[in-house]
Amino acid sequence: MLTEEHLNSLAGWAASGAEASASVLRETHTEDSGLEVRDIRVTTLSDLPDQAPCFEGECVAGVASRFEGGLCASALLAMDPEDALAWVRSKPGVADPLEAFVRLGETVQSGIAIEIGAGLGLEMRTENSELREESVPLILFGTHAPSDTVVVVVSLLVASGDEVLPVHVYLMIEPKLLGTALAA
């Protein structure tokens, strides 16, 4: 059972991870890149449709990633497809927009996941990332994760160039592993 203290810790680590991701984006994408955390929620996969932004039934541009190490997790960065294209195009000269979007999404997810892992005293690394274009619920439920899977939802605004775009990161963590790590 997650306590209020656990929820606050997860939220704090996620916010620190978003700042770490913004720093990397400023180095690799555009100097004026930024991430502003708008909201952080911790819920379960079964409660997600009622408690988190899901782009109701809409197809999203998503980057799905797996994380391995001391804490196995899956993540999805989701945003409107037009916004995703605008984000990629905010850096001139991008040769492959789809690959660039996957790398941008992976950068944001990795910062959040790795910071949560560090807060738990566990090392995490990105195992693979891929482009997904479906609805958020279809992507998340398609992982076949149990309904009690913990989902850390980080709602962000991405600033790059003249664009300020909404993006959501869904980090799914197996509850037994998370409970064990939080108890340590």
Per residue in 38-97, pLDDT (tens digit) is: 888 888 888 887 766 665 657 889 999 998 888 788 999 999 999 998 888 887 888 898
Q: What is the CATH number of the domain that holds 60?
A: 3.40.1550.10
Q: What is the mean pLDDT of residues 113-119?
A: 88
List of long-range contacts for 29-32, beta carbons under 8 Å, 24+ apart: 29/90, 29/91, 29/104, 29/107, 29/160, 30/90, 30/91, 30/160, 30/161, 32/159, 32/160, 32/161
This prediction has a pTM of 0.88
- Per residue in 117-169, pLDDT (tens digit) is 888 888 888 888 999 999 888 888 888 889 889 888 989 888 877 778 899 99
Give the chain's domain count.
1
Domain with 109 in it: 4-183
pLDDT value at residue 52:
61
